[in-house]
Structure 1
């Protein structure tokens, strides 16, 4: 039987709150337009690059931990969390200053795009508590429990990071 440490329990309410608040706030802000704001049209390639960098660092972090480089792994994972937060801020800022770009592809590729987009969005919501729980378990030095959830977290987070780039590449020809 595994027990939850005091440190883990301390963060569980915060993890729950953030896991609910982040998607709700993003959804609300997605609908808010800042009047007379200069459109931040330069941001999509920036945050797509951040997604790509996150994917590379996630793979590197797994390599690092499998090769006993735990300090490097920790630094890479903290960087991935920071990059994901930066992505989120830029994504919201872009959508608060710019109209959404409709996808212009036709035929089967349209269905592929919307499948990738939908799974990307849904998994980006699911990944929030998984990342936070994985992080807290590592902070609490509960590496047995950390590894268990990280095995689920990693492929989902990697999928979200990679599909973020794919979605950008697929829609970028339709930006005004």
Structure 2
């Protein structure tokens, strides 16, 4: 049975999970004229992805050692980092042309596989992260733990592949 507070969270989660991917897709196609490209951002947001991965791993270690408050703080920080990443990513793409991957042969297929799975899972992970967070906030720890077992590896994959995509495409930035 859902509580009133849980219903409120679920409505928010549904809206955010739909609006963010649509907004990112829409903003991706908008270029701000007469603005200096924010070409310094990719290594910063790639580093934020790497830091998010470290936070997630530390969070699992914390909860396995019974440090619930630290676990909560690490995950909250990981959510903030993911939001910062998103803002910087959109800002970069609104001021800069997309970089084309220049690799050839099998590496090109590896790159596109990683990129496509990264993008798809970055969309899918939004409601998972928010539901996992909501269940912890509401003190529903059995359900939190159940979904966290799905959320953690997906979110970690998105964070790590964000760094891998950057490293693979970085030689081709103009």
TM range (shorter): over 0.9
The normalised TM-score by structure 2 is 0.99
RMSD across aligned positions (CA) = 0.5
1:9 is displaced (CA, Å) by: 1.3
Q: Tell me how far 1:6 sits from its aligned partner.
A: 2.6
Partner of 1:8: 6
TM-score (norm 1): 0.98
Q: What count of residue pairs does the alignment treat as equivalent?
A: 174
Separation in structure 2 between the aligned mates of residue 138 and residue 30 of structure 1, nearest angstrom: 33
CA offsets, 1:4-58, max 9 Å, x none? 3332111111100000000000000000000011100000000000000000010
Q: Report the Cα distance in structure 2 between the residues aligned to 1:68 and 1:6, rounded to whole angstroms.
A: 30
Q: Where do 1:138-157 residues align within 5 Å?
A: 138-157=136-155
CA distance in 2, matches of 1:61, 1:5: 28
Identify the residue that residue 67 of structure 1 maps to in structure 2.
65
How many Å separate the matches in 1 of 2:4 and 2:143?
Answer: 14
**Gap runs ≥5 in structure 1:** none
